[in-house]
Amino acid sequence: MIVCFAREIPLRIFVTGDMTWTGEFIDVRSIRLPFKSPSRISRVLRELSFDTEIDFYSGGTRLAEPHPRKILDTRIRFPNMKDSIILLNEEPLAEVFIPTRLLHRDGQLREILSYLRPALHGRDARNVLVVGGPGIGKTTLVRWLLHEYFDGKFAYVNCLNARSEHKILESILIQLGNAVPENKPTDSLIQTFSKKVNKRVVVCLDEVDQVKGDRVLQTLSAQECGLILISNRLYFLDSVEDRLRSRLFLTEVEFPRYRRSELIDIIQDRIDYALSPGAITKHLVEIVAIWANGDARIALQTLKSAAMNAESGKRDSISIEDLKNGIKGAKRSKFEYVRSKLNEHQAFLLRQIQADMKIESAELFRRYQESFDNPVGERAYRNQMNQLVQTGLVRGEGEGRWRKFEVV
């Protein structure tokens, strides 16, 4: 099954022939058309009023006439085009782009939906915790599901952007259609909650491990709404206080990393919308998938920056060197991104490991206890280290008192 996103498809325009590239065309590239409107497709194309031939294709087969469900790409041939280009449309490779199709996540989609569907009928939904490493479609899938099934009845907050409990509660209330006067104290927001956040709505907290304090989760656990929490910390629940954990009663849905073949499908799907035909070979696509090691974000960023590199070198296809440059940049930005999500404990521990390159666990624990006002126990330290290792920034070897850590 293929999941279709949004009711729009990007109009894919291939430019071939001989004509100089004009700025005017850039606008054309980003046009998006409603799925159900053949007349609009024809009108937009007429409005473009290029004195040129236009062919409509579906899966490589030329169509006799435009068909709203079948058009997958549109080829416009210009008579005098010389400069070949690679990146026809940057949008599908951007982080914020919502793909038209979400591949290889049917199982997770069905499972999460089965837990939340009762909310649609005013019955008790099951709360869900979505966990898994970075770049594997957690945010994308949940946002799509919310828009598709709970339109107007959900609130989504990314807690990396809104970390304080006040901001999070305020954002949820506003998204559920409540006016929240400025400077309203947090306590009074919590009171409004019990009146407004009912069984029929779903609240999603993305990057939930970034929330400071327990109060937001306490408040939500006391409501009847469905809850989706997303985190890339497999050990997130260990840091939640026992009683709160049992009140939240979360069902865990784990997202695995993509397999190489799945990543190839995801990359290829975006290539079809973003790059000119022949811009990258199958072999290089496989290399991107191998290097990305299960992370779709890394794969797409690598591809985008490789395409831009090739284009700025005025070449008409992507080379292995372009990919090498691309992967370096993508990995650097992943490192920064993952680091920005660390809490102050993990950031301290990472700095210590970076300073020593390799450090014994006992020594690290000693420094950790020395540096924080409230001395932490060994269990809490192990929990922080488990989370740090899970980010992929450091690795551990050996067990117990022989355990050592080093930067990856």
Enumerate binding residues for ligand ATP (CB under 6 A): 95, 99, 102-105, 134-140, 232, 266, 296-297, 300
Closest approach of ligand ATP to the CB of residue 321, in Å: 24
Query: From the list ligand ATP, Mg ion, none, which binds 104 (C-beta under 5 to 8 Å, kind-based)?
Result: ligand ATP
Closest approach of ligand ATP to the CB of residue 45, in Å: 28
Query: From the list ligand ATP, Mg ion, none, which binds 12 (C-beta under 5 to 8 Å, kind-based)?
Result: none
* Cα three-residue angle 145-292-105, rounded to 5 degrees: 25
Residue 107 or 278: the one with the smaller Cβ distance to ligand ATP is 107
The angle that helices 296-312 and 320-340 make with each other, rounded to 10 degrees, is 130
Residue 99 or 284: the one with the smaller Cβ distance to Mg ion is 99
Closest approach of ligand ATP to the CB of residue 60, in Å: 21
Token code pair at residue 183 = 């400077």
- What number of other Cβ atoms are within 10 A of residue 100's Cβ? 21
Closest approach of Mg ion to the CB of residue 296, in Å: 11
**Closest chain position to Mg ion (CB):** 139
Q: Measuring CA to CA, which residue among 308, 358, 346, 352 is closest to residue 330?
A: 308
Query: From the list Mg ion, ligand ATP, none, which binds 92 (C-beta under 5 to 8 Å, kind-based)?
Result: none
Alpha helix (H) residue ranges in 235-274: 242-248, 260-274
8 A C-beta contact, residue 154 and residue 137:
no
Closest approach of ligand ATP to the CB of residue 147, in Å: 14
Q: Measuring CA to CA, which residue among 335, 324, 252 is closest to residue 297?
A: 335
Residue 210 or 219: the one with the smaller Cβ distance to ligand ATP is 210
Strands 127-131 and 250-254: parallel
Q: Contacts with Mg ion: how many residues (CB under 5 A)?
A: 1
Residue 191 is inside which H or E element, if any?
helix 186-196
Residue 271 or 280: the one with the smaller Cβ distance to ligand ATP is 271
Closest approach of ligand ATP to the CB of residue 273, in Å: 11
Residue 4 or 180: the one with the smaller Cβ distance to ligand ATP is 4
Lookup result for tokens 């006799």: 64
For the beta sheet containing 61-63, the strands, ordered from the edge strand earlier in sequence to the opposite edge, are 13-19, 73-81, 53-58, 61-63
Query: From the list Mg ion, ligand ATP, none, which binds 102 (C-beta under 5 to 8 Å, kind-based)?
Result: ligand ATP
Residue 143 or 153: the one with the smaller Cβ distance to Mg ion is 143
Closest approach of ligand ATP to the CB of residue 341, in Å: 8
Residue 175 or 317: the one with the smaller Cβ distance to Mg ion is 175
Strands 358-360 and 250-254: unpaired
Residue 296 or 318: the one with the smaller Cβ distance to ligand ATP is 296
8 A C-beta contact, residue 182 and residue 170:
no
Instruction: Concatenate the DSSP letters of all residues of 160-178 into one string.
Output: TT--SHHHHHHHHHHHTT-
The angle that helices 296-312 and 282-292 make with each other, rounded to 10 degrees, is 130
**Rg (alpha carbons) of the chain, rounded to whole number:** 25
Closest approach of ligand ATP to the CB of residue 340, in Å: 11
Closest approach of ligand ATP to the CB of residue 227, in Å: 17
Residue 231 or 309: the one with the smaller Cβ distance to Mg ion is 231
Query: From the list ligand ATP, Mg ion, none, which binds 326 (C-beta under 5 to 8 Å, kind-based)?
Result: none
* Interface pattern 80-119 for Mg ion (x via CB under 5 A): ----------------------------------------
Q: Measuring CA to CA, which residue among 232, 206, 205 is closest to residue 294?
A: 232
In one-letter notation, the amino acid at residue 182 is E
Hey, which residues between 123 and 152 contact Mg ion (CB under 5 A)?
Answer: 139
Q: How far apart are CA 164 and CA 228, in angstroms?
A: 18
Residues of the shown chain interacting with Mg ion in the complex, contacts defined by CB under 5 A:
139
